[in-house]
Amino acid sequence: MRTAIVIALLLSTSCLLRGQEPQTEQPQQEPERRWTKPGPVQDGGVRQVLESIVVPPIPNAPFKATLDTEWVRFTPDGGTITFVNERHIARDGRGRVYEERWALVPKFHANGDVPSKMTWIQIADPKQRTLYNCNVQRHACDLLVYDPTDDLTAAQQRTPPRSGTVDHGPVTIEDLGSRNIAGVDTVGIRETQKIEAGAMGNDQPMNSMKEEWHSQELGINLLSIRSGPTIGKQTFTIVEVAPSEPDAQLFELPSGYKVNDQRKNPPISW
């Protein structure tokens, strides 16, 4: 269920400048598959998508886990801006997926730690083909049609290159071997893409990198790293995982939440 269930993150210059203000002014993670109306018209700013670890809705592979996110942006003067959060994810034996979304907060803050807050709860059921995006603040859930096709590709077995490293033109794929993360065996693959000068308005050659440590048993990445000149460095790490059936109550709608069924009359796309 991508974090495009998609995590849509609004990031503008003004957001970064408000890093010293209360958490409500911080960049937040929102579901990718949740339709959002554009904000007020203004000059400048960027709308970006921060993709987290995908949890495919496969049956008979239950688990519950804690996922840490760290996003480092690089400033022109050589400094960094770092946002972090921690959230819980789970999948039951039926393939249902539970995910929390928490606000990204500054890792380093002049006045000490800035507490994060849960913003969304997402519950996906591949058999019923339903997705509930529940806004914690509004106590309301949007009910959408869930198509698990794209998410299921994340469960595919990883096959490292036999020779250790393979070059496909501008793309290099490396076998990183095996690694145990949070008690789970994983296999690692790194993909580096060379971006020639002028390909995207850049005056110098650049590289972007994707590194994944995948559990063939659970069908998820235990560690995922993305880096590039335009996105900085994004690290998603499973720090705790229990390969057992999670509490069934996680997959029940929060008590008292209003449900808005958007399957028959979906909102107009912008």
Amino acid found at 153: T
Look at residue 5 in the predicted model and tell me its pLDDT.
38
How many CA atoms lie within 13 Å of 50's alpha carbon, on the beta-carbon side? 27
Amino acid found at 116: S
In this structure, is residue 1 part of a structural domain? Answer: no
Distance (Å, whole) CA 45 – CA 18: 14
The range of the structural domain enclosing residue 121 comes to: 8-261
In this structure, is residue 3 part of a structural domain? Answer: no
In this structure, is residue 192 part of a structural domain? Answer: yes
DSSP secondary structure string for all residues of 179-200: EEETTEEEEEEEEEEEE-TTTT
In this structure, is residue 267 part of a structural domain? Answer: no
Beta strands of the chain (E only): which ranges? 8-11, 46-49, 63-74, 80-91, 97-102, 105-106, 118-125, 130-135, 140-145, 165-168, 171-181, 184-195, 206-215, 220-228, 232-242, 258-261
In this structure, is residue 270 part of a structural domain? Answer: no
End-to-end CA distance of the chain: 22
> 265: Cβ–Cβ under 8 A, 6 or more apart, which residues?
none
Q: What is the pLDDT of residues 182-226, one digit of tens each?
A: 999 999 999 999 999 988 888 999 999 999 999 999 999 999 999
CATH code of 99's domain: 2.50.20.10
Residue-averaged pLDDT of the chain: 84
Instruction: Give 1's pLDDT tier (boundaries 50, 70, 90).
Output: low
In this structure, is residue 143 part of a structural domain? Answer: yes
Asked if residue 255 has pLDDT above 60, the reply is yes
Q: What is the pLDDT of residues 62-105, one digit of tens each?
A: 999 999 999 999 999 999 999 999 999 999 999 999 999 999 99
* Number of domains within the chain: 1
In this structure, is residue 122 part of a structural domain? Answer: yes
Asked if residue 249 has pLDDT above 80, the reply is yes
As to burial, measured by CB atoms within 10 angstroms (0-12 exposed, 13-18 middle, 19+ buried), residue 224 is: buried
* DSSP H stretches of helix in the chain: 13-17, 149-152
In this structure, is residue 191 part of a structural domain? Answer: yes
